[in-house]
Amino acid sequence: MSESRDFIPLSIAVLTVSDTRSLDDDRSGAILAERLTGAGHQLAAREIVPDDVTAIRAIVQRWCADPSIDVVITTGGTGFTGRDVTPEALEPIFEKRMDGFSAIFHRISYEKIGVSTIQSRATGGVINATFVFALPGSPGACKDGWDAILKDQLDYRHGPCNFVEIMPRLDEHLRRGGRSA
């Protein structure tokens, strides 16, 4: 952590993807909300949506269109069952995919649960200059994703680099008339 930089609080929305959870029993969404506010960020929104591509995509796109929201974190729907559709909802609308997020998540998860990590399709990317991360629905996976990856990458003081310092440049392709590099 760099002592010469001030902390920059971000506005982060949390979406739980589940057919069975409510806000009262959503432990994974609660863990993410507690950890991000505990780190000094603002909880911009928190919702639960059923495992449905159209519904997931609608909420994430709405949040990514809101200039006051910097980051969206989803939890749930990243497995292989017929109802697990979060990657199918998000990956087609990513402007840029973040393959490294999945790779690092699996490395960290492997240390905790071994080869069972292969059953997760955690993913990340950028939509409309907003970082979007899809974590598995288990509380442990949410703790691992936040504690081992997102907490530091969403902290401007973290070096040698972090997501916060590149946020102002995420929409450069849009400012150049829609051309991508």
* Domain architecture of the chain: domains with CATH: 11-175 (3.40.980.10)
Sign of the Cα torsion 72, 74, 80, 81 reads: negative
Ramachandran assignment for 20, one of left (phi > 0), alpha (psi -120 to 50 degrees), beta (any other) = alpha
Q: CA–CA separation, 43 vs 12, rounded Å? A: 5
pLDDT at 181: 43
Ramachandran assignment for 97, one of left (phi > 0), alpha (psi -120 to 50 degrees), beta (any other) = beta
pLDDT by residue for the chain (181 residues), tens digit each?
A: 777 889 999 999 999 999 999 999 999 999 999 999 999 999 999 999 999 999 999 999 999 999 999 999 999 999 999 999 999 999 999 999 999 999 999 999 999 999 999 999 999 999 999 999 999 999 999 999 999 999 999 999 999 999 999 999 988 766 655 544 4
The one-letter code for the residue type at 138 is S
Sign of the Cα torsion 140, 96, 63, 150 reads: positive
In 3-state terms the chain splits into helix, strand, coil percentages (rounded to 5) of 45, 20, 40
Question: Taking the C-alpha atoms of 16, 19, 22 and 28 in order, what is their torsion angle to the nearest 10 degrees?
Answer: -40
pTM of the model: 0.93
